[in-house]
């Protein structure tokens, strides 16, 4: 994808010797092959092969408990899924999960990046501390929030009650309406760091002269931000949001740890549902659901890029 | 650069950043606190924000009621081995992707990137079946192999970015002096790129350390469990014991947090480059 923001520095490596690049060079081809093959052999065996086998399971009746009887059943798995009463709920939840997490993550992350843009004393230390959620797995974050949202001894209820916002403890994770809110709050907390890091890096790539020139022309801070800075980093923002949508859609860990999709499928998203199918040994359904997820993501990616790149190139 | 921001903006920024720091650190504080509370104070109401007394009870219980020491060792062994091998293999791929232009290069990049986007759960069943045939089920070695494959693609992309920052005149000079390409890479480029390589290694290590669903599927006996697999069995039990659970969480978080803080600058550089270059 031609999405480079800082110019393709990789091409510079070969520009130095253009004559050698023209003709086919066996030695050169062998070098490339030799250097790439270890990676490819490992990834092919342990990632691609299982993915391809898994892909075709979508069209088979495939249960872990009946491995000798896996007939081809066409699109039956897809029909079973769509007919399942949980299907609509799951798809809607996936959408709420992605949008409800991503928008606040983006806004807060952007504000933090703006705050960290100018250098100040201890900025390095601040980043090293404040960006720590990145080192922790989503699964563990889910465990921490499950404890904090605990209805009896949870600290969140305690703070709400002490500050007089609520009168009694709220059963966050047991309440069908609030459980989704709780898992999204945990996810927002977790994902802000990612946006802060990416947007900060993008902001720092904006040349200082550009914003200074705008300031000299009398543009205020807010105007400079919206008319100079954001357009300059637009391609990074578009790409970051896209990567994040794909990632959050595929990210069941927090929900898995906090509610396991419950109560009564109220926090079930596509990937937690997939986990449930694999735990039941029903790999056919899990795989079919995986296809639906990929289909949704491919359609989304296409639409997203064509809408956002039409008004000028990325 | 002259900092001409008005005082009000500076104050606003300082307050905003401080508030976020508190929000970010609070869950960590809370789990640390819980882990040091004596058992009778964990399930106590009203909740205490500073315990009456600190105790190691939960840690002692954690190690005496489970094989947590063994789990830590397993996680360490598997993550360190997988991360080292993956980093070396990805170093070779990253080098080629940075230094050579060839027709299928775009396809290679896409092949790497696709692995990051497909829901991995599709692969769990077939992987399990394959491991049954290979006799690798419930083996730490098998888990290492899967983790190597899992971490290679992104580290190759990350390392490519780091190679791009090193002028190729460096290894060309070494090759004129008689080193092979591999020798030049190993003896000249690797020392120069040490920060980037360490960052990639740490990134891989943390990813393996945190990995849950593959290990839950492929590891069965308690003796081979990694930490996330063990935590998974803790939260799956009917009555979660939050004291030992918090102690386990603290022990899981601390090593990776320290590693990340140590290398965050380079990891951030590598990730942002990798992502924006596609």
pLDDT at A274: 94
HSE of A252, CA atoms in CB hemisphere, 13 A: 23
- How far apart are the C-alpha atoms of A55 and B164, rounded to whole Å? 36
* Pairs of CB atoms within 8 A across A/B: 270
- How far apart are the C-alpha atoms of B115 and A40, rounded to whole Å? 12
Across the interface, which of A32, A54, A135 has its CB nearest the CB of B257? A135
Q: pLDDT averaged over consecutive 10-residue blocks of chain A (314 residues)?
A: 38 45 76 94 95 92 82 92 95 96 97 90 88 93 96 91 90 93 97 92 85 84 88 88 92 95 93 93 92 92 85 54
- How far apart are the C-alpha atoms of A128 and A119, rounded to whole Å? 14
> Under a CB-based contact definition with an 8 Å cutoff, are residues A172 and A154 in contact?
yes
Kindly give, in sequence order, each residue whose CB lies less than 8 Å from that of residue B218, ignoring residues fewer than 6 positions away: B127, B128, B131, B136, B137, B138, B142, B143, B146
> Under a CB-based contact definition with an 8 Å cutoff, are residues A153 and B40 in contact?
no
Residue B81 with chain A: CB contacts under 8 Å: none
Residue B155 scores a pLDDT above 90: yes
Chain centre to alpha carbon of residue A260: 19
CB contact (8 A) between residue B121 and residue A208: no
pLDDT tens digit sequence for B158-179: 899 889 888 888 888 899 988 9
- How far apart are the C-alpha atoms of A259 and A267, rounded to whole Å? 7
> Under a CB-based contact definition with an 8 Å cutoff, are residues B141 and A54 in contact?
no
- How far apart are the C-alpha atoms of A267 and A253, rounded to whole Å? 12
Return the residue in A18, A46, A201, A208 with the most chain B beta carbons within 10 A, the one to mutate for interface testing.
A46
Residue B2 scores a pLDDT above 70: no
> Tokens 């947590």 — which residue?
B68
pLDDT tens digit sequence for B250-267: 999 999 998 988 887 777
CB contact (8 A) between residue A6 and residue B276: yes
> Under a CB-based contact definition with an 8 Å cutoff, are residues A134 and A193 in contact?
yes
Q: How far is B61 from chain A (nearest CA, A)?
A: 19
- How far apart are the C-alpha atoms of A183 and A97, rounded to whole Å? 8
Residue (of A178, A135, A139) closest to A156 by Cα position: A178
B223 in reach of chain A (CB within 8 A): no
pLDDT at B145: 97
CB contact (8 A) between residue A146 and residue B31: no
CB contact (8 A) between residue B242 and residue A11: no
Average pLDDT over residues B150-155: 94
Residue (of B132, B245, B139, B154) closest to B201 by Cα position: B154
pLDDT at A22: 52
- How far apart are the C-alpha atoms of A121 and A112, rounded to whole Å? 16
**Higher-confidence residue: B87 or A240?**
B87
> Kindly report the CA angle at A251 between A255 and B248, in degrees rounded to 5?
60
- How far apart are the C-alpha atoms of B206 and B210, rounded to whole Å? 6
B17 in reach of chain A (CB within 8 A): yes
pLDDT at B273: 66
CB contact (8 A) between residue A153 and residue B44: yes
- How far apart are the C-alpha atoms of B249 and A190, rounded to whole Å? 16
Could you give the percent of chain B with pLDDT greater than 90?
A: 58
**Higher-confidence residue: A306 or B228?**
B228
Position B274 confidence tier, pLDDT thresholds 50, 70, 90: low
B241 in reach of chain A (CB within 8 A): no
pTM, two decimals, is 0.89
Residue B131 scores a pLDDT above 80: yes
Identify the three-state secondary structure at position A253: helix
B261 in reach of chain A (CB within 8 A): yes
B103 burial type by CB count under 10 A (0-12 exposed, 13-18 middle, 19+ buried): exposed
- How far apart are the C-alpha atoms of A66 and A242, rounded to whole Å? 39
pLDDT at A67: 77
Rounded to 5 degrees, what are φ and ψ at B263? Answer: -110, 10
Residue B195 scores a pLDDT above 70: yes
ipTM: 0.90
Q: How far is A307 from chain B (nearest CA, A)?
A: 19
B157 in reach of chain A (CB within 8 A): no
Identify the three-state secondary structure at position A139: helix
Return the residue in B5, B42, B126, B262 with the most chain A beta carbons within 10 A, the one to mutate for interface testing.
B126
> Under a CB-based contact definition with an 8 Å cutoff, are residues B276 and A239 in contact?
yes
Residue B85 scores a pLDDT above 70: yes
Residue A54 with chain B: CB contacts under 8 Å: 122-126
- How far apart are the C-alpha atoms of A211 and B118, rounded to whole Å? 40
Chain A, nearest residue to B165 by Cα: A9
CB contact (8 A) between residue A132 and residue B261: yes
Residue B112 with chain A: CB contacts under 8 Å: 43
pLDDT at B237: 82
Average pLDDT over residues B173-202: 90
pLDDT at A10: 42
Residue B212 with chain A: CB contacts under 8 Å: 137, 139, 253
- How far apart are the C-alpha atoms of A166 and A157, rounded to whole Å? 8
**Cα–Cα separations (whole angstroms), residue B241 to A147, B222, B246:** 10, 19, 9
HSE of B261, CA atoms in CB hemisphere, 13 A: 13
Average pLDDT over residues B19-32: 96
Chain B, nearest residue to A236 by Cα: B276
Average pLDDT over residues B225-247: 92
Beta bridge partners of A282: A63
pLDDT tens digit sequence for B201-223: 999 999 999 999 999 999 999 89
CB contact (8 A) between residue B148 and residue A297: no
Helix H segments across A44-154? 49-57, 76-83, 86-117, 123-130, 138-148
**Higher-confidence residue: B75 or A210?**
B75
CB contact (8 A) between residue A221 and residue B9: yes
Which of A159-173, A239-253, B91-105, B111-125 is least confident?
B111-125
> Under a CB-based contact definition with an 8 Å cutoff, are residues B82 and B148 in contact?
yes
Structure tokens at B80: 């360190």
Q: How far is A233 from chain B (nearest CA, A)?
A: 11
């Amino acid at each position: 994808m031609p999405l480079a923001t800082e110019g393709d520095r990789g091409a510079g490596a070969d520009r130095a010797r253009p004559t050698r690049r023209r003709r086919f060079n066996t030695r050169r081809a062998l070098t490339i092959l030799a250097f790439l093959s270890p990676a490819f052999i490992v990834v092919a065996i342990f990632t691609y092969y299982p993915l391809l086998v898994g892909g075709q399971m979508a069209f088979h009746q495939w249960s872990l408990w009946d491995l000798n009887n896996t007939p081809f059943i066409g699109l039956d798995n897809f029909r079973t899924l769509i007919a399942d009463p949980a299907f609509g709920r799951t798809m809607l939840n996936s959408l709420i999960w992605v949008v409800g997490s991503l928008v606040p993550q983006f806004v807060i992350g952007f504000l933090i990046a703006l705050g960290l843009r100018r250098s100040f004393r201890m900025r390095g230390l601040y980043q090293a501390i404040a960006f720590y959620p990145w080192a922790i797995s989503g699964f563990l974050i889910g465990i921490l929030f499950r404890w904090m949202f605990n209805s009896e001894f949870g600290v969140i209820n305690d703070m709400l009650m002490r500050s007089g916002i609520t009168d009694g403890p709220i059963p966050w994770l047991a309440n069908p309406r609030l459980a989704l809110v709780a898992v999204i709050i945990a996810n927002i907390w977790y994902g802000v760091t990612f946006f802060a890091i990416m947007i900060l890096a993008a902001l720092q790539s904006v040349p200082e002269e550009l914003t200074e020139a705008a300031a000299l022309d009398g543009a205020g801070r807010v105007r400079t931000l919206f008319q100079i800075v954001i357009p300059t980093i637009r391609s990074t923002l578009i790409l970051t949001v896209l990567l994040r949508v794909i990632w959050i859609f595929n990210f069941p860990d927090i929900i898995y740890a906090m509610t396991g999709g419950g109560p009564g499928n109220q926090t079930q998203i596509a990937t937690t549902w997939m986990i449930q199918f694999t735990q039941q040994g029903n790999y056919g359904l899990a795989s079919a659901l995986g296809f639906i997820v990929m289909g949704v993501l491919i359609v989304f990616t296409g639409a997203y890029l064509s809408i956002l790149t039409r008004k000028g190139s990325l | 650069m002259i900092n001409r921001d008005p005082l009000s903006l500076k104050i606003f920024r300082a307050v905003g950043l401080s508030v976020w720091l508190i929000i970010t650190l609070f869950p960590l504080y809370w789990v640390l606190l819980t882990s040091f509370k004596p058992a009778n104070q964990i399930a106590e109401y009203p909740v205490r924000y500073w315990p009456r007394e600190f105790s190691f009870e939960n840690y002692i219980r954690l190690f005496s009621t489970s094989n947590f020491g063994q789990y830590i060792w397993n996680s360490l062994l598997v993550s360190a081995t997988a991360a080292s091998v993956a980093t070396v293999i990805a170093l070779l791929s990253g080098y080629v992707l940075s230094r050579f232009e060839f027709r299928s290069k775009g396809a290679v990049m896409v092949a790497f990137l696709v692995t990051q986007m497909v829901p991995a759960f599709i692969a769990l069943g077939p992987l399990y079946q394959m491991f049954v045939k290979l006799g690798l089920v419930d083996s730490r070695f098998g888990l290492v192999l899967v983790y190597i494959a899992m971490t290679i693609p992104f580290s190759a992309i990350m390392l490519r970015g780091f190679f791009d920052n090193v002028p190729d005149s460096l290894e060309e000079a070494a090759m004129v002096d008689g080193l092979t390409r591999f020798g030049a890479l190993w003896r000249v480029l690797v020392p120069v790129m040490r920060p980037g390589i360490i960052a990639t290694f740490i990134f891989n290590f943390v990813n393996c350390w945190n990995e849950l669903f593959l290990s839950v599927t492929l590891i069965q006996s308690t003796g081979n469990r990694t930490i996330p697999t063990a935590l998974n069995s803790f939260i799956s039990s009917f009555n979660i014991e939050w004291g030992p659970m918090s102690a386990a969480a603290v022990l899981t978080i601390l090593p990776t947090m320290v590693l990340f803080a140590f290398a965050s600058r380079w990891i951030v550089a590598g990730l942002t480059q990798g992502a924006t270059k596609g």
